[in-house]
Structure 1
Amino acid sequence: MSRDYQLPELENYINGQFSTPAIDRGQSLNDANTGEPLQQRRSCDHEQVQTALQATDRAYSEGVWENTSAQERADFLDKFADELSSEECARTISVADSLTSGAIIRTTRKMANILPMVFRGAAAYLREEGLDKKVPGPCGEVDYLRRPWGPALLIAPWNGPTAIGSHKVASALAAGAPCILKPSEFTPHSAIVMARAAHRAGIPQGVFQLTLGDRTIGSQMVEDPRIKAVSFTGGLAGGRAIARACAADFIPTQLELGGNNQLVVFADADLDLAATGIVYGLTNLNGQWCRALGRLLVHESVKDLLLDKVLTILSDIRLGHSLDEDSDMGPLVHRGHYDSVIADIERLKSRGGQVLTSTALPDLPGNFIAPTLVDGCSPADTREEIFGPVAAVHTFSSDAEALTLANGTDLGLAGYVYSADEAKAFAFAHKMRTGGVKINGYSLLSIGAGAPRGAWGLSGLGEEGHAQSIEFFTGSRVIGVSPQDPLGGR
């Protein structure tokens, strides 16, 4: 397990210049595995934020990026991808994300290697003329254009920071929108690597900027009238605050806020396959992702056998240091989050929950929680998301009862159904009030290349996806020759 790592120095990228965030928070960014300090946390001050806002407003007002042709923007996105394609970039990002978020190195390495593809995909969308089309009109063809609302604020979370942050940046730049990225203060390093790559690629001043800090600077930018669109991935409280701030001026918001995701196992399901899916849902990204397993809903006739299979697989899960190539799962991101998840487990135990786990904890002082199922609670006590490797177990005796349970929370991000009868599984999935349902499989990636990732209820607002995220940053503009109606309504 290599220890020869050095995190990128914390630096903003504002108006084409790198700078040290002015405020020392007096707190350290810690190794999730050991709790040891890695770096002093720093934040922009008010003046640095204002400089970034002025620069993005100027870039938009002067049309620096919007008036760059789609072909030229696509060429730049490809150049951006080239700058991110080096082994050094991938290694820096994968190690930093692993140490700070706790995700195992095998997972963060995959995300770092996929990073250039995100920008190439956005470039391909532009070359397919996704933003400029012709539609039939009464007097010939009509121009149907999509143009940026204006400067965009991109707020990325600490879980999956590379994948989520890059998707937002590539989408905004493809749309022609100058943008400011504010990553989580706990996982800022992949954003710094992206800023350096954008600078080397020659991005115009003010078109892409990076501001480091916590929710204080996020709030300052969300509430600034120069920001014309906000894309946020994070918690429900943050999403509500952004929605309130943007409501008065009808600022478009794209909000992905998490989910208490249901996995339904019918009596005829392949229980070995279902058990594998359950363990994946608990352990991938250490349970710290918005489509992780929240509630396991299983037919009462196969519950005991299924749980035995799950616990057998969990006993072989290697919970360990996130940089260890042999680890299957790592720690939670920081001690505060660890304490919150432990408190949720204790709350469910106090409501009659029986804790089921079989994964050994490592001999490390970090934020480690074994993947855990909690059986025996009332469904009313498991309606809220636990953002960690913990899921509740509930049984059903009929399809109608299963559907009531599956639609029994205010969140609706993802769902999973296991059944040998695919037609039955599809029919059931069609009735689940959630953004997407995967049948007989559990994966990190979207169900299809062109499929959106929707959010229902308190899981958020709007859709994310290849085309959908680019189009979010734009409004439609329709231009054509019109017939002249006679006066007086004749």
Structure 2
Amino acid sequence: MIAPVDTQTLPALENLIDEQFTTPELDRHNHIFNANTDEPLQAQFSCSPAQIERALTAADNAYQSGEWENTPAAERADVLEKIADELQQTDYAERISHADAVTTGAIIRTTRKMAQLVPLVFRQAAHFIRAGGLEQRLPGPRGDVEYFRRPWGPALLISPWNGPTAIGSHKIASALAAGAPCIMKPSEWAPHSAIIMAQAIHKVGLPKGTFQLTCGNRTIGSQMVEDDRIKAISFTGGLAGGRAVARACADRFVPTQLELGGNNQLVVLEDADLDKAAEGIAYGLTNLNAQWCRALGRVIVHESMKQTLLDKCLERLAGIRLGHSLDEASDMGPMVHRGQYDLVLSEIERLKSKGGIPLSSTPLSDLPGYFIAPTLLDGCSPADTREEIFGPVASIHTYRTEAEALALANGTALGLAGYVYGEDEARAFAFARQMRTGGVKINGYSLLSLGHNAPRGAWGLSGIGEEGHTQSIEFFTGARVVGVSPQDALGGY
């Protein structure tokens, strides 16, 4: 059954600025659309410069007061646990999963799982600081040396429209655990999960100005990125946006954490189980509708196995149900909005003009939304497939030797994720270790991280810094070391 969709099912667009919920003041004359039907759902209002100024002032005041920063870690952890308890209530998960499915096109089964994980994100952050993750004692020449981490200052959190709940909650929990006042700026295309989380955080209560939410487009993002009161920025989004953030922060040396996407390679070694590989390729083309940073970009397979692999892939893709994102039976939904839909189709046409042959077997939905069947493109030159498409499209390339396969796998400027299929795990590990990318999964394709404490790195144009359970909290902080020193001009012990 498909739940009804109307403007009443989405939370109203509202900011949380200086402990007050307010309506964004500027009408951008655009709308958030139902990705399944191309119907407008909600006007895309945006903060005014004056509203952003109030948020920046409140964040700076909160930092200058030091109330949240100086709250003992155990007490901050208690507050994070209370936020998790509030978000644990069923109503929050249902509202978040429904909003994300309607606006982004991700199927409800996926958005529901992401929404249900949000309380765990806050609990993990609480556990880290309660266990002393930001406080250590080291041996020194005159007794113990205190090594502790404190927030750089007010942090700006910019989350994208793809996976807005998972990414947004991770940034918020990490910044608050670090003791940093923070301002969340969600994508104007999918702001609702951030609004719902803000409602929960507001109920629990934090010192004034410690957590704020601002709705709007890139204009308000620029105003905050360029403001001297912002001392750290965590950005997830496209390469152009990441470059703009990096340029704005360069002169002030503001710490930046940038995750910018990837044209991710899946390598099929000669001893691979082709059924497993085909299943992984199908996941890579359909999970989150291939609108996530670690989605499949290129398949690299031995020339003797290509046709068999393609046949198995098309067989699996033929069984994918492409349908309404709120339909429990759907395996894949539409693109997020008309602009992304047009962009992906234009990339398919570009590669066709370069000799690419599109291969697809998934029946299209008869709904008028932004549906694109998962597509493999054969016959393309690797030189034409180096850029990320950010949709359910991947090219397929062949190799004769593993050296050629590795050159193809490392043949883009992006390096976020990689995948290797091969039955000899030692051989697969040896190959994966040589891939210049933040993480490589062997014989599996999943939305989940490789391990609870494993960081998510980025190489090349995929970004700067690492994200993860520990790494993201530490990003918002700088190190301080305090201890008794010898009185020795030459520094001897």
TM-score, scaled relative to structure 2: 0.98
Does 2:11 align with 1:8? yes
| Alignment match, 2:207 | 204
Cα distance in 1 for partners of 2:5, 2:225 equals: 38
Instruction: Give runs of aligned pairs for residues 160-309 of structure 1, distance below 5 A.
Output: 160-309=163-312
Q: Deviations over 1:314-335 (max 9, x none)?
A: 0000000000000000000000
1:307–1:51 Cα change, 3 Å: same
Counterpart selection for 1:388 from 371, 388, 391 = 391
| Alignment match, 1:113 | 116
Cα distance in 1 for partners of 2:3, 2:244 equals: 41
Q: How far off is 1:387 after superposition?
A: 0.4
| Alignment match, 2:144 | 141
| Alignment match, 2:107 | 104
Counterpart selection for 1:332 from 329, 332, 335 = 335
Cα distance in 1 for partners of 2:209, 2:412 equals: 42
Cα distance in 1 for partners of 2:423, 2:129 equals: 41
Does 2:440 align with 1:457? no
Instruction: Give runs of aligned pairs for residues 46-65 of structure 1, distance below 5 A.
Output: 46-65=49-68
- Unmatched 5+ stretches in structure 2: none
Counterpart selection for 2:344 from 341, 346, 352 = 341
| Alignment match, 1:153 | 156
Cα distance in 1 for partners of 2:404, 2:30 equals: 49
Is the partner of 2:366 in helix, strand or coil? Answer: coil
Is the partner of 1:374 in helix, strand or coil? Answer: strand
| Alignment match, 1:412 | 415
Cα distance in 2 for partners of 1:206, 1:4 equals: 34
Cα distance in 1 for partners of 2:197, 2:290 equals: 26
Does 2:32 align with 1:29? yes
1:139–1:318 Cα change, 3 Å: same
| Alignment match, 2:23 | 20
1:20–1:269 Cα change, 3 Å: same
Q: Deviations over 1:259-296 (max 9, x none)?
A: 00000001210111110000000000000000000000
Is the partner of 1:466 in helix, strand or coil? Answer: coil
The letter for the 1-side match of 2:142 is: C
Cα distance in 2 for partners of 1:451, 1:316 equals: 33
Cα distance in 2 for partners of 1:342, 1:17 equals: 43
Q: How far off is 1:191 after superposition?
A: 0.4
Is the partner of 2:488 in helix, strand or coil? Answer: coil
Is the partner of 1:454 in helix, strand or coil? Answer: coil
Q: Deviations over 1:336-376 (max 9, x none)?
A: 01000000000000000000000000111000000000010
| Alignment match, 1:361 | 364
| Alignment match, 2:443 | 440
Q: How far off is 1:488 after superposition?
A: 11
Cα distance in 1 for partners of 2:199, 2:210 equals: 14
Cα distance in 1 for partners of 2:388, 2:490 equals: 59
RMSD (CA atoms): 1.1
| Alignment match, 2:326 | 323
Q: How far off is 1:4 after superposition?
A: 5.7
- Unmatched 5+ stretches in structure 1: none
Cα distance in 1 for partners of 2:491, 2:454 equals: 47
Aligned length: 490
User: Which 4+ runs in 1 deviate beyond 3 A?
Assistant: 486-490
1:354–1:482 Cα change, 3 Å: same
| Alignment match, 1:130 | 133
Q: How far off is 1:24 after superposition?
A: 1.3
Q: How far off is 1:27 after superposition?
A: 1.3
The letter for the 2-side match of 1:477 is: R
Instruction: Give runs of aligned pairs for residues 76-115 of structure 1, distance below 5 A.
Output: 76-115=79-118
Cα distance in 2 for partners of 1:428, 1:488 equals: 46
Is the partner of 1:13 in helix, strand or coil? Answer: strand
| Alignment match, 2:473 | 470
1:209–1:488 Cα change, 3 Å: closer
Larger displacement relative to structure 2 (2-11 or 263-272): 2-11
Is the partner of 1:294 in helix, strand or coil? Answer: strand
Cα distance in 2 for partners of 1:410, 1:7 equals: 39
Instruction: Give runs of aligned pairs for residues 425-436 of structure 1, distance below 5 A.
Output: 425-436=428-439
1:97–1:489 Cα change, 3 Å: closer
Cα distance in 1 for partners of 2:337, 2:250 equals: 33
Q: How far off is 1:309 after superposition?
A: 0.4
The letter for the 2-side match of 1:180 is: I
Indicate the percent of aligned positions where both proteins have the same amino acid: 71
The letter for the 2-side match of 1:456 is: W
Cα distance in 2 for partners of 1:267, 1:359 equals: 27
Is the partner of 1:146 in helix, strand or coil? Answer: strand
Q: How far off is 1:489 after superposition?
A: 9.6
Counterpart selection for 2:374 from 364, 367, 371 = 371
Q: How far off is 1:486 after superposition?
A: 4.0
Cα distance in 2 for partners of 1:489, 1:129 equals: 31
The letter for the 2-side match of 1:95 is: H
TM-score, scaled relative to structure 1: 0.99
The letter for the 2-side match of 1:154 is: L
The letter for the 1-side match of 2:297 is: G
